Structure 1
């Protein structure tokens, strides 16, 4: 299986590179810059593509070229940015700068659509094509969050997923939107999960849990798929 992870340099994206894949698989990380040392995964080839999706049109050409010959089975779009004071009591929509709003829309929506459009012809050649979009509980109805642009961009991901399913159902394209709550990205996959789950005292999800969920999704046959999956922290009172 060939899996591409967009936004792979840190946090959850790095955890995907460190934790996904089986013997003989290929993992392709995408980020603005290539890590000095690529992860060493016995039996798994790890490749990297340098592309800045803040400039969508330029980036998608570089990324598409990287998989044009070798093919692709799964695209995990894990890239997303938010307002400077997002998730802070001081957040105020009226204080958001217009250029910041535009940057969030470009990265979280425009780049997602344009990249999928460019990669879809390659993905559909796979016997079991999959797209996994890293969404947020902020993109759910009555999420309880006031961040306007970030919330709108995560609502948009669910719309993108719905439309893709209908458009390419006959080609067996499985599209999953992961609605994730607050994450503990301070503890990498190398941290024992029993320790990582203690950070945040029940208010933050270890990346280990998200990786486990994605492993399950990728293990399914081409006869089924996971449509939406909401994964909040146990003490998140919004859910």
Structure 2
């Protein structure tokens, strides 16, 4: 057994136990803090987060169109995608999807930036299709929860008929739900500050009473996202088991 004697004479030991990475490659453990944090994973990529990347590209292109197109055309596009009661009655599927293709306030608005980072973080944890499902659940659920009462109020005479044509579009409901869902996958030391800060911002906007229906929609969407915690945690744990296997 010359090979074994050679290893013993040089003080080397064979440590090929499955899964024992710390003994054979100690340099892999002692990484720089920057490499351990991997800040580039905060941004979407075509392969790592295809849903967020593709959706972000579509939103960016349409935002450029809004910035440079004729204002009358832009207003017509927004009006045709509005999730007001009149459009929801006539073409519900078209406007529920179409309204999520526009960013109110442009690419540098707070909800646009939140969409980029929040959807990226959520997709890396639960996958693209499920992230899209959470986003749409908040977008559609909060839209119906705010527009249906308007329709009922018009029917009973508490609001004028013009309320049926309220301009309503944007990604903010879906983003609010995604923030609520992502909070459930964070550690407690980050989860509760995120929810407290975002909830405080939403309540501040609601108390300002500039657009109460939209502000109520944001709170409803956040609640919808929080309600998905058992589901998104199950999805996250399932992906972790598959990756470990």
Report the TM-score when normalising by structure 1.
0.28
Task: Answer 1 or 2: which has greater helix percent.
Answer: 2
Report the TM-score when normalising by structure 2.
0.27
Task: Answer 1 or 2: which has greater strand percent.
Answer: 1
